[in-house]
Amino acid sequence: ISTNNGIKVDILSIVEYQQRGLEKLSKRIDVPLDDPTTKSCNDVDEDSSSNSTPSEEEQSRVNSVISEWNDVQAYLPKVNAPGSRIESYRQDFCGRTCVAFIISTMPAPLRDVLSEFRHAVDEEFPGRYGWLDETSLHCTLRSLDEYA
């Protein structure tokens, strides 16, 4: 995947969900991040740092997680661990969280890679893995439950 396939997040969502996978929501409040009364990244003085590019530390952290997939024998036990089954994401469970839904802003090349990955997994392991509905794809920022 090319490095220019970043996912632009311009809306955060506060959700009350009925399933951990966010396929069933009881409430969703979208909070736009593009407030016209604030400066955009393009308006920031040249002396200021821009938030549009992740720091090397952040990129390194993401790369270390992604690189776990390079050793399939070591990675599969993590994927197959208890709690990683589709049923745990679809069972009734109520909670609140702040997320960024990503499918609508995902670049086409990244969508293609995701689709090819799913197809390859289904070909290699027919019926073994389940996929959440694309509309529920999200990045969790923080749980909003009192006990979290």
How does pLDDT run across 113-129, given as a tens digit for each residue?
A: 889 989 998 999 898 88
pLDDT at 83 over 70: no
Mean pLDDT for 72-84 is 78
DSSP 14: E
**Rounded mean pLDDT of 62-88?**
80
pLDDT average, residue stretch 6-11: 86
* Residue 13: pLDDT over 90: yes
The pLDDT of residue 38 is 55
pLDDT classification of 48: cutoffs 50, 70, 90: very low
Confidence (pTM): 0.69
pLDDT at 148: 52
Residue 26 pLDDT exceeds 60: yes
The residue ranges of DSSP E strands in 82-137, in sequence order, are: 92-101
Burial class (CB in 10 A: 0-12, 13-18, 19+), 99: buried
Q: How confident is the model at residue 100 (pLDDT cuts 50, 70, 90)?
A: very high
Backbone angles phi, psi at 41, to 5 degrees: -60, -30
**According to the model, what pLDDT value does residue 1 have?**
42
**C-alpha angle 70-72-74 in degrees, rounded to nearest 5:** 100
